[in-house]
Structure 1
Amino acid sequence: MDQLAPVLLAFPPENPTDDNDTYDKAVKAHLNRLTKLLKDNNADLILHGPQLLELLSPAVNSLSYLAVLHTLVIPSLATSMARDLLLEKLAIFLVSFDGRQCRYAGTHLHDLLSTVGSGQYLPPSVAVDVLATAILKLDPTGRMLTSTHIILARLAYNTDNIEPALKVIDKIIVFYPNMINYKEPQYLCDLDLFPPAYITRENGLTAVVKAAAVMEYDLLCGMMYCARREWAKAHAAFERVVTFPTREGGTSKIMAEAYKKWVLVSLLLNGKHTDPPSYTGAAANKLYGTLGKSYVSVATSFVTENAEGLKAEVEKNAEIWQEDGNTGLIQEVLAAYQKWRVLNLQDIYTKISISEIREQTLSAETGEKLGKDEDVEALVQNMIIGGMLKGVIEKNDDGTVFLTFLSSTTELSELEFADELLRMASRLKELQPIFRATSERLGTSKDYVKHIMKESKRNEKSDAPDPTLGFDAQVDDEDLMGGVIQTG
């Protein structure tokens, strides 16, 4: 114990420095001492592990704490420490570690994250929160996808612990592991590095992330948003899978699964279904039309006034919805049908009585009118509360209840306008480093350099448009994915 403690407490120094060169040398020297300690004194670390964890600070002595904790947890929980106490120390470490230090011990950190992600040790709600917090401690921007993201999404969705995962899955992914044109950084501790420069397979902070895993992550995100009825976010997540670039213009089972859900969510979000975006692969588009035929038929019926036809279409293919795991979404679509019929009335009326709404709209769940005016009033009230409909319910002196549609566009006050400008400015500030990183990466791309040279020669002969225009069309899917496809 007396021999172990001084080594473990030696880093960070009493007077830490932000200078990258000094910090890098100090942390590497400490790693060498830790490596020797783990090799020569492994049994002592297990024996005195409980006392050492009490002595060390997970937030200050993160590398040493990680070394002891990894020894006690991997490959199985040590018997020298009470299980509950050890798991408590594990959770505390993963929500408080110093991300800068742990860049140098990626494999050990990833082992602990995978252990928590297995769902075998911590309660699911705790495990999901711990994983989400750890991901953001390592990458505060949340812009890079790692193998831990997929572990998190699976655990959150399968255990229905979605809320604590939102702080991660709400982030827009920009970077992927081992993207091309990112060289090994001079200093791993440099806090100005972009995530792809230090979160790599080589340093162990992420495992291989294949194209299928990227699509699985977006699919799981979409399904979690569906569970929360956040249709816009679900639609965007499914669309990323539907439009995923593939080799030789093919498609996959997971893409077809996302397409089916995307069609249904389109109805809930927009009240109609449209073709996939223009950048969707041509081969994939053709297959979607075949594989999702039943779903497109539902979408076609949804925009008509034939509620009975929609109900019949849904009942006819009940087995398909069940097999695809989309019965819940189909029920949401049936429930939304009358709401969209009510919403469409604002194209004709500015004010309409509740009784008239009952006469002019049908429920797709029953194929009939609602039983009484009070049911229609409750439906409309829920639409207003949920933000789907802008309007107010009023009652005349004679007792007639009316719905008055309000304008969907309202003028902002001067204060609200100023707040909106501040939000936009803040968002633009957040995007600046991402834009700079993307530009730097593009500028070092061999394909881009070839393209610029080709356009320069063309410019010598005649006036030409901006050489960056049309570049996307000349880059292979592998390059567009920036290395994600290359891992397959």
Structure 2
Amino acid sequence: MESLEALVAHIQGLSGSPEEVAHLHSLLKQADGDSLRSHAAALVPFLTHLSPEAHSLGYLYLLEACATSGANLGADFLVTVADFLTACSADQIRLAPDKFLNVCRVFKDQVMLLNTPIRGIAPLRAAVRKIQASPEQLTPVHAEYLLLCLLAKQYKAGLSVLEDDIFEVDQPKDLFLYCYYGGMIYIGLKKFPKASELLHNAVTAPMSSLNAIAVEAYKKYILVSLIQNGQVPSFPKYTSATAQRNMKNHAQIYVELSTCYGNGRYTDLETFVESNAAVFQSDNNLGLAKQVLSSMYKRNIQRLTQTYLTLSLEDIARSVQLDTPRDAEMHVLRMIEDGEIHATINQKDGMVSFHEDPEQYKSVEMVEHIDTSIQRLTALSKKLASIDENMACDPAYLLKGGITGDSTTTTSTPFHTSIFEMI
């Protein structure tokens, strides 16, 4: 390998035009590997002679060699990596995506080791945008970023990537982790419909063999479904046969919890949760299980609205097994505020009157909401049609699906099909 001084000189002189960067890339490949890592300690001072923004590709090669060498590079090195992830040129680092991902992983591991996950949130958020070819692409950095948001309890920060519509996936594991961590973030925000949607995607994604991420997602999916809807939907037809055959066997306690919940008796459910608390705790789901227990009050009150027009607070408390009419009043008021029931409480006689949904779907706000939803669904439909057309022409997909055709006359458009592959 040429001297480090000469290599740095090349990086400084060949980081301008795309042609220069391409030539530099070939030189860096020749110098890459164990030869660079063996000089890891000596590389750090040379980084000060380079600009993370102007010399991104060369900077990345040196930084990755340092990060993966196993050497103790000190606390200042984290600052160096953070600055690079924030400032680097997307065009240059995409020439060496594997090295960029290595740097991101080491950075994530280090902030976790120091028990300071919050330090990694802003740099990894920038890294997600730098490595993405489009906002619709899911990258391995997404999961790393969401994990740090979870550990730092910065749930709202996770929304910056979770609110994107994802259509392109390179690796199945990235999808499972994205859905699992994303579901946990929405649970932290009490956005149970969104949590259910992501966890459902992890459970129903194509798989030829069961994986631990999908199993853990299924456990949380059962709990969230009970909190949100009071029942767990059956597996849809497109769920893999592997999941349909085996998933419930790996989450037996949770399936039994769902059955107990369906019986509608609070005391039975309470006994079940208490007797299986150790299992829920070991799965880090005890808090969710207790929320399932609390939600039974709400579910039973909702059932009463389907039977009665008026009911006293005392009768409500007795029916849903609350201790006092005051407790019933608090639950009813909370459900009214959350829009879960429509009712009024007469404070004089303690009577609750249940009403129909007053929404007439004709206000300006509602019309705008419906129009926005229609536009989004139209765009989604066009995108799915485009993906379906590309899949029908992709030789790799046709081969895996056992579909024969004349590949010489088929036009293939490059795209990521891993969501649909038989994993």
Q: 2:119 aligns with which of 121, 126, 145?
A: 126
CA 274–408 in structure 1, closer or farther in 2 if over 3 Å, else same: farther
* Amino acid aligned to 1:108: K
Mark the CA change 1:341 to 1:140 in structure 2 (over 3 Å): closer, same or farther. farther
Query: RCO (CA 8 Å, sep 6+): is it higher in 1 or 2?
Result: 1
| Structure 2 residue 313 is the aligned partner of structure 1 residue 337 | no
Shift in CA distance, 446/212, structure 1 to aligned 2, threshold 3 Å: closer
Residue in structure 2 matching 1:389, options 331, 340, 343:
340
Q: Give 1:318's aligned residue.
A: 277
Aligned residue among 242, 245, 248 for 2:203 = 242
Counterparts of 1:285-300 in structure 2, within 5 Å, are 285-300=244-259
Instruction: Give the Cα separation in 1 of the matches to 2:397 and 2:81.
Output: 46
- Provide the C-alpha distance between the structure 2 equivalents of 1:287 and 1:45, rounded to a whole number of angstroms: 51
After superposition, give the CA deviation of every residue in 1:119-141 in whole Å (9 maximum; x if it has no partner): 34683012133223311232164
Equivalent AA in structure 2 for residue 49 of structure 1 = L
Structure 1 residues 484, 43: CA separation in 2 closer, same or farther (over 3 Å shift)? farther
Counterpart of 1:260 (choices 219, 227, 252) is 219
In structure 2, what is the equivalent of residue 93 of structure 1?
84
- Residue 219 of structure 1 corresponds to which residue in structure 2? 180
Which amino acid in structure 2 is aligned with residue 127 of structure 1? G
Code of the residue aligned with 1:229 in structure 2: it is K
Return the letter of the residue paired with 2:201. Answer: R
SS at match of 2:238: coil
Displacement of 1:379 after TM fit?
Answer: 1.8
Contact 1:87 1:121 in 2 (8 A): no
Question: Residues 7, 316 of structure 1: CA spacing in aligned structure 2 closer, same or farther, 3 A cutoff?
Answer: closer
Using the size of structure 1 for normalisation, the TM-score is 0.68
Aligned residues: 402
Structure 1: distance between partners of 2:237 and 2:197: 15
Measure the CA separation in 1 of the matches of 2:282 and 2:100: 39
258-267 vs 433-442, greater mean Cα deviation: 433-442
Q: Equivalents in 1 of 2:285, 2:192: separation in Å?
A: 15
1:336, distance to aligned residue in structure 2 (A): 0.4
C-alpha contact (below 8 Å) 1:352/1:402 kept by paired residues: yes
Task: Give the AA of the match of 1:124.
Answer: P
Counterpart residue number, 2:137: 144
**Contact 2:206 2:421 survives alignment (8 Å):** no
Please say if residues 77 and 83 of structure 1, whose CA atoms lie closer than 8 Å, have aligned partners that are also in contact.
no
- Compute the displacement of 1:426 (Å): 5.1
CA RMSD of aligned residues (A): 4.0
Structure-2 separation of matches of 1:322 and 1:155 = 22
Residue aligning to 1:347 = 306
Amino acid at match of 2:182: C
The answer on 1:380 being equivalent to 2:373 is no
State yes or no: 1:106 paired with 2:92. no
Letter paired with 1:389? E
Give, as a single letter, the amino acid of the residue that structure 2 aligns with 1:62. S
For 1:329 and 1:121, locate their aligned partners in 2 and report how far apart those are by CA, in whole Å. 28
| Distance in 2 of aligned mates of 1:27 and 1:151 | 29
Secondary structure at the counterpart of residue 402 of structure 1: strand
Cα distance between partner residues in 2 of 1:267 and 1:232: 11
The structure richer in helix per residue is: 2
The code of the aligned residue for 2:105 comes to S
- Length-normalised TM-score, structure 2: 0.77
Shift, 1:172, TM fit: 4.5
Q: Kindly indicate whether the alpha-carbon contact (under 8 Å) linking 2:264 and 2:296 is maintained by their aligned counterparts in 1.
A: no
* Distance in 2 of aligned mates of 1:242 and 1:230: 19
Change (3 A) 1:136 1:281: same
Distance 1:425 1:100, change over 3 A: farther
Q: Corresponding residue for 2:25?
A: 31
Q: Match for 2:393: what amino acid?
A: G
Superposed counterparts of 1:357-376, under 5 Å: 357-362=316-321, 369-371=322-324, 373-376=325-328
Percent identity over paired residues: 21
- Provide the rounded CA distance (Å) in 1 between the counterparts of 2:228 and 2:25: 53
Contact 2:183 2:195 in 1 (8 A): yes
Q: Please, which of 258, 262, 266 is the counterpart of residue 307 of structure 1?
A: 266
1:419, distance to aligned residue in structure 2 (A): 5.2
Relative to structure 1, the CA distance from residue 26 to residue 393 in structure 2 (aligned partners, 3 Å threshold; closer, same or farther) is farther
The answer on 1:421 being equivalent to 2:421 is no
Q: 1:70 and 1:484, CA in 2 relative to 1: closer, same or farther beyond 3 A?
A: farther
How far the C-alpha of 1:422 sits from its partner, in A, is 4.0
Match of 2:156 in 1: 163
Tell me, which stretches of 5 or more residues in structure 1 are unaligned? Answer: 14-22, 178-208, 363-368, 455-478
